[in-house]
Amino acid sequence: MAKDHSFDIVSKPNLQEIDNAISMAMKEISTRFDFKGSISKIEKEGDKLKLVSEDEFKLKNVVNILQDKLVKRKVALKFLEYEKIEEALGGTVKQLVSIKQGIPQDKAKEITKLIKSSGLKVQTQIQGDQIRVSAKKIDDLQATMQKLKAANLPIELQFINYR
């Protein structure tokens, strides 16, 4: 009997690259002329980023610098979820940014439904915050990967444990 082939679908950002992007963004903010004397900063608190600046215009510039550094380090911007801008102490504004990790249950069901509707002979199994896809033929697995990449889903997906 033929052995099943499989791979896992996960959504995990490279946290080390995010840390590197934050430090590079802070370095750029400290040297840029338009931020001279500014109290703009980016802090990482667990799985959230806290962006602080004097006004909304400078905060948007901080966001742009951070996004630029993340893109250069090949971290997808789909991992970030921006909350609304709030007033903070000392006449500053802040914005919290969540780093999304794992595939939420509702998105996992949506992905599974998308795979089933493709008509390929694959089985899916939701395992916590990841999805295992298995099939008899490797070609079916590769076709599934291509279909998911073309689907333009709201979360970033990686394919691991390909056997």
The Cα–Cα gap between 145 and 134 comes to 12
Q: What pLDDT is stored for residue 73 in this prediction?
A: 93
Segment 62-82, tens digit of pLDDT? 999 999 999 999 999 999 999
Pick from 148, 105, 149: nearest CA to 129:
105
Compute the 3-state secondary structure of the chain and give helix, strand, coil in percent, each to the nearest 5. 40, 25, 30
The Cα–Cα gap between 138 and 141 comes to 5
Which residues pair with residue 139 across a beta bridge? none
Tokens 């992007």 belong to 21
The Cα–Cα gap between 73 and 163 comes to 28
- Asked if 77 and 33 touch (Cβ cutoff 8 Å), the reply is no
Question: Do 15-99 and 5-12+103-160 have the same topology in CATH?
Answer: yes
The Cα–Cα gap between 98 and 91 comes to 23
Q: What pLDDT is stored for residue 1 in this prediction?
A: 34
Intervals of the chain under pLDDT 50: 1-2
CATH 3.30.70.860 for domain 5-12+103-160, yes or no, is: yes
Task: Name the residue ranges covered by the structural domains of the chain.
Answer: 5-12+103-160, 15-99
Q: What pLDDT is stored for residue 34 in this prediction?
A: 85
CATH 3.30.70.990 for domain 15-99, yes or no, is: yes
